[in-house]
Amino acid sequence: MINLRYAAAAAFLAAGLVSATAAPAFAATPAGYAGIVADDAKITVTGNGTVSAAPDRMRLQAGVEVRRASAGAAFSGARTAAAALRAALLAAGVAEDDLRTSEISLGPEYDDYPKVSGYRAGQGVEVLVRDLDIADRVVDAVAAAGEEARLNGISFEIGDPATALSAARDAAYKDALAKARQYAGLTGRTLGAVLSLQENGDGHTPIPFEGIHLMAASDKSISPGRQSVGVSVKVVFELR
């Protein structure tokens, strides 16, 4: 079997500079080069496909935090503040089913350990915003919910990644096919049937290649930018 670690390896084979029965001694594959494995009967290539899509959902992490002299008062205050925050989010247009309590905390605070100076209680909520047109309104609702309110971060996601994932699969297979054809041609061979095809990962979850970009829009303070979805496939082709 021949391990082709660089694109030049196939050219060496075609020129007769490397024996078809001995593996050439190349260094480890650098970033950006796809490992190619070929023998007399087949060639295995890895193809990568990436597409860009606009996220259509926002996920917001918010909550409340209250400090009181007693544990009971702190916990009661946090519950009251959390109820006010929940009401503000519902009024901003968030569906009730898209609100989820993410954490509840209660603990002592110390000015001079082990002497307790007070108690701090908190409650977190995860908010799924399915309509980005109300994203600014939801963030404003958190900010206006009171001094106990906390905004801990936001992220964006593609609600239905199936279309982007399908396009990425197409691109990944075409990439693998182009590589296989090139290497087959360089060695004086032609491609036959596909012997096997394997998608790396679980085949359902998109692979993010870029982070989420936030940028100012003309009439909004929040924009989801674009997100890359990628797929990698390993394809084995018959060699003729």
Q: What's the pLDDT tens digit per position in 77-112? A: 999 999 999 999 999 999 999 999 999 999 999 998
Last residue of a domain, one of 99, 124, 157: 157
Q: Let me know whether 191 and 228 are in one domain.
A: yes
Q: For residue 222, what pLDDT is reported?
A: 85
Q: At what angle do helices 71-91 and 135-143 cross, to 10 degrees?
A: 150
Whether residue 221 sits in one domain with residue 203: yes
In percent, the amount of the chain with pLDDT more than 70 equals 75
Residue 40 confidence (pLDDT) above 80: no
The tokens for 115 are: 């002497």
Q: How confident is the model at residue 221 (pLDDT cuts 50, 70, 90)?
A: confident
- 42-65 residue pLDDT tens: 999 999 999 999 999 999 999 999
CA atoms of 164 and 106, how far apart (whole Å) = 43
Please report which confidence band the pLDDT of residue 36 belongs to, taking 50, 70 and 90 as the band edges: low
Residues 137 and 170 in one domain: no
Task: Name the β-bridge partners of 237.
Answer: 43, 194
Based on the fold, state whether residues 127 and 177 are members of the same structural domain. no
Tell me if 135 sits within 8 A of 151, measured CB to CB. no
Q: Which of 115, 130, 157 is the last residue of a domain?
A: 157
**Number of structural domains found in the chain:** 2
> What pTM value is reported for the model?
0.67
Same domain, 84 and 129: yes
- CATH at residue 201: 3.30.110.170
The CATH code of the domain that includes 88 is 3.30.70.2970
Question: Final residue of a domain: which of 157, 176, 208?
Answer: 157
In a shared domain, residues 29 and 87 = no
Residue 212: the pLDDT is: 39
146: three-class secondary structure by DSSP: coil
Q: Residues near 57 by Cβ (< 8 Å), separated by ≥ 6? A: 128, 129, 130, 132, 156, 157, 158, 159
Q: Are residues 135 and 165 in the same domain?
A: no
**What is the residue type of 47?**
G
Same domain, 117 and 169: no
Cβ-Cβ contacts under 8 Å for 92 (sequence gap 6 or more) = 134, 137, 138, 140, 141
Distance CA 14, CA 8 (A): 10
Domain match, 48 and 79 both: no
Together in a domain, 30 and 15: yes
Spatial contact of 59 and 233, defined as CB atoms under 8 Å apart = no
Give tens-digit pLDDT for 130-181. 999 999 999 999 999 999 999 999 999 999 999 999 999 999 999 999 999 9
Same domain, 146 and 186: no
Higher pLDDT, 28 or 198: 198
CA atoms of 64 and 79, how far apart (whole Å): 9
Tell whether 113 and 129 lie within a shared domain. Answer: yes
pLDDT score at 38? 64
Domain assignment of residue 118, given as a range: 57-157
The residue type found at 37 is V
Collapse the DSSP code of 89 into the 3-class scheme (helix H, G, I; strand E, B; otherwise coil) and give the result: helix
